[in-house]
Structure 1
C-alpha cells in the first residue's frame, strides 16, 4: 500500500468508513453526516483503492464488512475519538471528574468492565474513582434520565429522544459454548446444534429476544427447546456444566469467561453457518446510551464516553 495514498485520506473519509461499518447503508450514512450519496461513494472508493480491498460487500441490501474492514474499524474509530478529545480540550468541555460512576450493562458486556474502565480512567485523567455496574433493563432509560446512572451499554436504541444511542461496534460472529465432553463437539454444525436445548441470557442482542438459532430450526420445521433464560454468565455456566444445553454468544470477552470455566469449551461458528443462522436478522450492534440536555448536547463527560467506548471495542477483540 503506497504511503502517499494513505496521506490523501481525510478524517472525514475515515468517519464515513466508521459510519458505514456501523449503519451498513450508504444512504443512511449520507443523511446522518449531512453529505451527498456520491460523496459517500467516492470516499469509500478512495479507501478501497488505498487498501486494495472492497471493504464492504453488498448482501441483502446491506453492506457486510470484509476481514480487512473489521480490522480497520477499531483503528479508525480510535482516530475519530482522538479528534473528538482534542476538540473537547480546545473547548474546555472535558467534564468534571466524578467521585463515583455507575453504568447499566447487559451480562455479555459486564465481564471486566469495572477493572478495564477503572484502569482507563486512571490513564486518561489520573483520577481514582469508584466504578459500579447495574443490570440493564426496562427501567434503565428512566434511570439515566433521572441521573441515577451515568451511562448504559446494551443492544438496542433508547426509547427516549433525550438519550443518544451511540452505535459502537457490531458482533463479528457467534461462538458455540457447551461442556467439554458434550456430544456436539463430534460435529459442531448448526444442523446438530438445533437438536440440543438452548440457554438464553436475559438480554439477547436481537429484537424481542428472539433466537436466530431457534428461527433457523423453525425454517427446517423443528422446534428448538429453551433450557433456561438466565440473568448472568455465571448462572449460564452452571447450567451448561450440568446439562446437554448449549449457548451461542457473540462478545469475545464473554466467550473468554466461559473458556476460563473448568469443564466448558467455546468454539467460533463457521462464518458460512453463522450467516445461515443470521438469515432475516441484522448483525447485532452494541449501543452506548448517553443523556442529552434540553439543547441536545451530551451531558456525559467525554472522558467517561471514551473509556466506555474503548472497553466495548476491546471486549469484542
Structure 2
C-alpha cells in the first residue's frame, strides 16, 4: 500500500469507517454524522482503494466487516482518541476541567449515566468530575444554547440550527414489564394488554408523547386507561408493583433496571405483536444534542461526545 494514499485519508473519513464498523448500516451513520449517504459511500470507497479490500460486505441489509476491517478498527479508533487529546490541548483544558457537567436526558436513558461520564472524565483528566442529570423537556434547548448544560439525550431533533442533533441509534422491539404474578403473563398479546392500565414515562419516544398501545386501543374501539405518568424508572416500578398496570419500554438498559427489581418481570414482545402496536408509528430514534459555535463547530469536548454515544449504544445492547 503506497504511503501517499493513506496520507490523503482524512480523520473524518476514519470516523465514518469506525461508525460503519459499529453500526453496520450506512444510512444510520449518515444520519448520525449529519452527512449525505453519497459522502459516506465516497469515504468507504476511498478506504477500499487505499487498502485494496472491500472492508465491509453487505449481508441481510447490514455491513459485515472483513478481516482487514477488524484489524483496522482498533487502530483507527486509537487515532480518533488521539484527536480527542489534541482537541483538549487546543481548548487549553488538559489537567483542568469544569467542576460540574450536567446532562439533560430522558428517564429511559438515565441508568448509570453519571457513573459513565465520571469514569470517562477520570480516564482523560485523572481527576474526579461532578456530574448530574436533569430531565429533558421544553427548556432543554435554551439551556443548551445558554451553555447551562453540556449536552442532551432525547427522542427528537432540536429545531434550532445552533444545535446539532446526532442520530445515535434507532431501537427496535419493545419489552413488556409488569408484576411477576400479573395475569397478563398468561397470554401477553396486544389485545390483552389494552385491558390493563398503562404506566407512561414522562417522555415517550413518539410524537406528542403519544402511546402506540393507546392508539391501537382506539383503533379497536377501546379506551386505554393511563394509571400514572412516572417521572423516572423508580416511580414507574413503584406504580407497577402496587397495581395491575403494565409498561412497555424499548431501551434494554432501562428494561434490565426494572427486571432487577424484586417482584417485577420483563419479557420481549413478539415481533408480530410489536408490529401491531407500532402501526402508524416509526421506530424511535435516540438523538444526542450538541451545541455549535458561530463557525458551526461542536463545542462539546470530544471525550464527552464519545462517552455519551457509547453510553447510548450500550444501553441498547
Instruction: Give the Å deviation of 1:220.
Output: 2.3
Q: Tell me the SS of whatever aligns to 1:167.
A: strand
Larger CA Rg, structure 1 vs 2: 2
In structure 1, the residue matched to 2:202 is 202
Q: 1:124-273 alignment to 2 at 5 Å? A: 124-273=124-273
TM-score (norm 1): 0.79
In structure 2, the residue matched to 1:73 is none
2:82 to 69, 83, 86: 86
In structure 1, the residue matched to 2:68 is none
Answer whether contact 2:34 2:166 (CA < 8 A) is retained.
no
In structure 1, the residue matched to 2:36 is 33
In 2, Cα distance between equivalents of 1:306 and 1:300: 10
- Answering whether residue 309 of structure 2 is matched by residue 309 of structure 1, we say yes
Answer whether contact 1:16 1:29 (CA < 8 A) is retained.
no
Aligned length: 288
In structure 1, the residue matched to 2:3 is none
CA RMSD of aligned residues (A): 3.3
In 2, Cα distance between equivalents of 1:221 and 1:40: 51
Instruction: Give the Å deviation of 1:210.
Output: 0.9
In structure 1, the residue matched to 2:113 is 113
In structure 2, do the counterparts of structure 1 residues 82 and 109 end up closer, same or farther at CA, with 3 Å as the change threshold?
farther
In structure 2, the residue matched to 1:7 is none
In 2, Cα distance between equivalents of 1:281 and 1:224: 17
In structure 1, the residue matched to 2:9 is none
In structure 2, the residue matched to 1:99 is 99
Instruction: Give the Å deviation of 1:30.
Output: 11
In structure 1, the residue matched to 2:277 is 277
Instruction: Give the Å deviation of 1:152.
Output: 0.8
TM-score (norm 2): 0.79
In structure 1, the residue matched to 2:5 is none
In structure 1, the residue matched to 2:60 is 54
Q: Tell me the SS of whatever aligns to 1:32.
A: coil
Answer whether contact 1:95 1:301 (CA < 8 A) is retained.
no
Unaligned runs of 5+ in 2: 1-12, 48-53, 66-71
In 2, Cα distance between equivalents of 1:206 and 1:227: 19
In structure 2, do the counterparts of structure 1 residues 184 and 130 end up closer, same or farther at CA, with 3 Å as the change threshold?
same
